[in-house]
Amino acid sequence: MKSYVPQYAFNKTEIRLLRELAKGKQSLLKIKALVQIKPAFLSRNLKKLQQKGIIQTAAEGNQKTAYFSETKHASLLRDLLLSYDFIDWENILSGKSVEILFRTLDDGDLSMFSGATLWRYLKELKARGIIAETQKGYQINTRFQILADFLREYERYFVNKIAKSLSENSVILWQIGMEFLVRAPKSAEPPSGDFHKTATSIFPEYDLPLFSEFDVYFYSTTKETIKPEDAVLHTLLLELDSVRYSTYALLLLKKAEKQIGKTYLLREAERLGLEKQVEGMLEFLQTHIRPEGQLLPTWGDFAEKARDYGVEA
């Protein structure tokens, strides 16, 4: 896993500033005095909060003021800070703690964190009643529903912002947490190495000449490369319950079968909610019989398509 500070995380100074701004519009002179912060440091942190879509600044007479934005996630955060002003949000919404909260909100999979990290942060989150342990893992306590609502809206804001950094014409096709598939014009140039070309856009690398006016990228801050197994799964996610994309995925699965690791494929399929579909595809390739209830081509249709693309069915 890469070592990085997520751009959506807050630092403690940002939260201190937000606590004051939650009470209402403030002049920068007053904020500086209340938080006891140097002008340059104040300016730097306010800029970060603006980039997060949480605050705005304006000139009023000879003073500059700051106030909460009207974005949905900003409004929810303001309500959270006012309703639970006794909680030390400076620690809860910063660093690894907020990463764990996002993971708990999305799918509950905390395997990306070390045991020591989980022990340290979960201990604090549980002690404050923010996270509860269930039979399925951890979840945000229902009495902190406003926190869950804020995180969802905040996550949506950042995903859209990141997608637009690839291209103004980007279209998000699928998303879970801070990972997503996005379609963009071929002229788009990825702004970072966290965008990975995937799905049908890399089929030519496997001698499957599919052409499109768009490219598909998978955004992830933790994935280094796209394996053929990933490309199969991402192809299915382009359009769920589609015989067309199931056929494309089958073509790659068959073409790259010697490179496919079934353990990894099935584990990732389960994580993405595609386990039943992938199991059916593997059975189909072995038996040539379409499993009942599966949106797959007939074996005859698949064999014909495979011949068209030079794949031995």
Domain 12-145, CATH among 3.30.56.10, 1.10.10.10, 1.10.275.10, 2.70.98.60: 1.10.10.10
Angle at 243 between CA 239 and CA 244, to 5 degrees: 70
The pLDDT score that the predictor gives to residue 168 is: 95
How far apart are alpha carbons 174 and 223 in whole angstroms? Answer: 16
Place of tokens 């096709």: 173
Q: What is the pLDDT of residues 200-255, one digit of tens each?
A: 999 999 999 888 889 999 999 888 899 999 999 999 999 988 999 999 999 999 99
CA distance 242 to 141: 37
Domain boundaries, given as residue ranges, for the chain: 12-145, 167-308
Neighbours of 257 (CB within 10 A): 14
pTM of the predicted model, to two decimals?
Answer: 0.84
Structure confidence by residue, pLDDT tens digits, 70-119: 999 999 999 999 999 999 999 999 888 888 888 888 666 677 788 888 88
Region of poorest pLDDT, from 17-21, 105-109, 175-179? 105-109
Q: Tell me what pLDDT residue 4 has.
A: 44
> Which pLDDT does position 119 carry in this prediction?
86
Confidence of residue 173 (pLDDT cuts 50, 70, 90): very high
For residue 278, is pLDDT > 70?
yes
Please give the Cα distance from 161 to 51 (Å, whole number). 10
Transcribe the chain into DSSP letters. ------TTPBPHHHHHHHHHHTTS-EEHHHHHHHHT--HHHHHHHHHHHHHTTSEEEEEETTEEEEEE--SHHHHHHHHHHHHTTTS-HHHHTBHHHHHHHHHHHHT---TTS-HHHHHHHHHHHHHTTSEEEETTEEEE-GGGHHHHHHHHHHHHHHHHHHHHHH-TT-EEEEEETTEEEEEEETT---SSTTEEE-GGGGGGGGT-----SEEEEEE-SS--S--HHHHHHHHHHHSTT-HHHHHHHHHHHHHTTTT--HHHHHHHHHHTT-HHHHHHHHHHHHHS-PPTT-----HHHHHHHHHHTT---
Asked whether 199 and 174 are in contact (CB, 8 A), the reply is: no
Q: What percent of the chain has pLDDT over 90?
A: 70
Give the number of other CB atoms < 10 A from CB of residue 169.
Answer: 12
The pLDDT score that the predictor gives to residue 106 is 67
Distance CA 266, CA 17 (A): 46
Is residue 15 within 8 Å of residue 88, measured between CB atoms? no
Q: Who has greater pLDDT, 124 or 75?
A: 75
Q: What local confidence, expressed as pLDDT, does residue 76 receive?
A: 97
pLDDT averaged over every residue in the chain = 91
